[in-house]
Chains A and B, each alone.
Chain A
């Protein structure tokens, strides 16, 4: 067994990485807070939020109002933009001195990059892309539920001897908490050393796509490969329903929808009330992104298509005539408000 950075006996408290980019917190960090608070209440642990960045003054004020006992703020000019090496180097120093028991991050590109590096620096275990978190009865160990094989298998993973117990959590699985009604958390500024040798990667450009975030859409009209040639009708349907467009990876690769609209394991985990899925085969890498929809309608010409296992209403037919009929129906009734 590799020697851990510190022992379970020394470890204290639950930490959440408050991922930010250009001064805005990532939604998944907020989603994590409600869950982390429940775990902290159960174990009597202190809940700490970790901010990392260039100038954090404004974010410190925001973070202090969240449901946290404490905010640790790590500011350094070389941390203004996220780069995995510099962030990992900075956070490693803080973790080694403060010795949290549990450290949770969002499973975003930045969260996974940071967690993946940090776990090796700290020689500890990292449970990836959790869809649920709990504490084990008796031992109090963190249990992370993860899915594998494209969502077909659920495993529960724990880390017994090494600290911190690290986990990344998939965006969209926990609801965002309501605003906290508590005294402002105290903010503790911590200095770190960021050597230039840890800043070899340079961010040359950052393009932000604005607007579309289908993870919060109430209604989704989803195009799969079987919707070929039908995008105008799919768009008309979305408009008549007041829905957002979503897409399978194949449909995104075809250029029928922007990449932010991809649903599934490497896209968005959506939690709409209603999802209408047109011409998708139902690969588990896709269906894990609509499993939390309240109602799923699937249209596919293949009666054996796996998508029907994940649907409440199943129509075995071609996309084109059914989407047209539904649009006509909606238009004749003046939409679906």
Chain B
């Protein structure tokens, strides 16, 4: 008999992008007014995991590196159907770039010992590097398949068939487990929380917190200390790159007519400009 599938979903709790700004005086990120959410593609990763569990059985664990205040957000994942959540939380993890983040997650996954499939989102909505999934796979020395649109499982073979998006089309990959797979945002529709599981929202036993000591990793390799990159500067993106923002109003017919005139005028001008400056 084949061993049941243990899927681990990496969930990053992020501030809602539109609610984050830059403090103009200190040039640091101002997240004070931003609400937290699970990084949207990570919800698709969780749905992928739960759908596999529905079809083939097994267990789904959640893992997140972040401060303790993300626990309530992780409970949403438990209420959707995950079996257990692991929070990696320690000041030593703070300020990690992708090298240190993926090392921390990889060592924690290895500590569990029996994870077959690590599912991630394609990229986060804040750092948006998409480097953590390949990073985890490399630290664990296992294969990866990124930008997955569809993940299917052949239980007898312990292989995945992954359809993924690449530059000018799609690829179908045969991926032996254990492996890391990252899924595209909106590749499926995350289910609602199961009201029958709401009681779990208060269950302390379902969330395990691990610190740096639990992972047994040299502190010099974690967080800021273990990060080869550093931020040399930070600024708010120039708002809307100096657009004219001219308001055109009237009846739809009038608007259509003015729009036509503006477009023709612009294209005539841009036509000559385009000839002088290629590209």
- A235 interfacial contact with B, CB 8 Å: no
Contact B172 A313 (CB under 8 A): no
Q: How large is the interface on A (under 10, 10 to 19, 20 to 34, 35 or more residues)?
A: 35 or more
- Contact string against A for B residues 250-267, beta-carbon threshold 8 Å, 1 for contact and 0 otherwise: 001101110110111011
Residues of B within 8 A of A (CB): 15, 17-18, 20-22, 29, 97-99, 102-103, 122-123, 125-131, 133-135, 137-139, 143-147, 161, 164-176, 179, 184-186, 220-221, 225-237, 239-241, 243-249, 252-253, 255-257, 259-260, 262-264, 266-267, 270, 274, 278-279
Measured in the bound complex, the distance between the Cα atoms of B237 and A297 in whole Å is: 21
Contact A291 B241 (CB under 8 A): yes
Q: Per DSSP, are chain B's interface residues mostly helix, strand or loop, or mixed?
A: mixed
13 A-B residue pairs with CB within 8 Å: A126-B129, A149-B15, A152-B18, A154-B235, A157-B231, A178-B278, A201-B173, A204-B161, A206-B171, A249-B186, A310-B243, A316-B247, A322-B256
A82-115 interface (Cβ within 8 A of B): 83-85, 88, 108-110, 112-113, 115
Contact B228 A4 (CB under 8 A): yes
Indicate the member of A157, A283, A310 with the most B CB atoms within 10 Å: A157
Indicate the member of B102, B129, B133, B233 with the most A CB atoms within 10 Å: B129
Contact B174 A201 (CB under 8 A): yes
Contact A324 B221 (CB under 8 A): no
Measured in the bound complex, the distance between the Cα atoms of B186 and A143 in whole Å is: 33
Chain A positions within 8 Å of B170 at CB level: 206-207, 209
Task: From the candidates A115, A128, A136, A329, name the one contacting B232 in the complex (CB within 8 A).
Answer: A136
What is the distance, in angstroms, from B233's C-beta to the closest C-beta of chain A?
A: 4
Measured in the bound complex, the distance between the Cα atoms of B97 and A128 in whole Å is: 11
Chain B positions within 8 Å of A229 at CB level: none
**Contact A274:B262 (CB < 8 A) given known A2-B226, A203-B172, A313-B244:** no
Interface hit among A61-69, A158-166, A187-195: A158-166
Chain B positions within 8 Å of A253 at CB level: 186
- Contact string against B for A residues 177-201, beta-carbon threshold 8 Å, 1 for contact and 0 otherwise: 0100000000000000000000011
Contact B232 A259 (CB under 8 A): no
**Contact A159:B264 (CB < 8 A) given known A2-B220, A209-B168, A321-B252:** no
Chain B positions within 8 Å of A162 at CB level: 228
Measured in the bound complex, the distance between the Cα atoms of B27 and A69 in whole Å is: 40
How many A-B pairs have beta carbons closer than 8 Å: the answer is: 284
Contact A273 B255 (CB under 8 A): no
Q: Per DSSP, are chain A's interface residues mostly helix, strand or loop, or mixed?
A: mixed
Contact B247 A314 (CB under 8 A): yes
In the complex, residue of chain B having the shortest beta-carbon distance to the beta carbon of A118: B138
Measured in the bound complex, the distance between the Cα atoms of B238 and A287 in whole Å is: 13
Contact A117 B144 (CB under 8 A): yes
- A175 interfacial contact with B, CB 8 Å: yes
Contact A296 B236 (CB under 8 A): no
Chain A positions within 8 Å of B243 at CB level: 296, 309-312
What is the distance, in angstroms, from A27's C-beta to the closest C-beta of chain B?
A: 9
- A232 interfacial contact with B, CB 8 Å: no
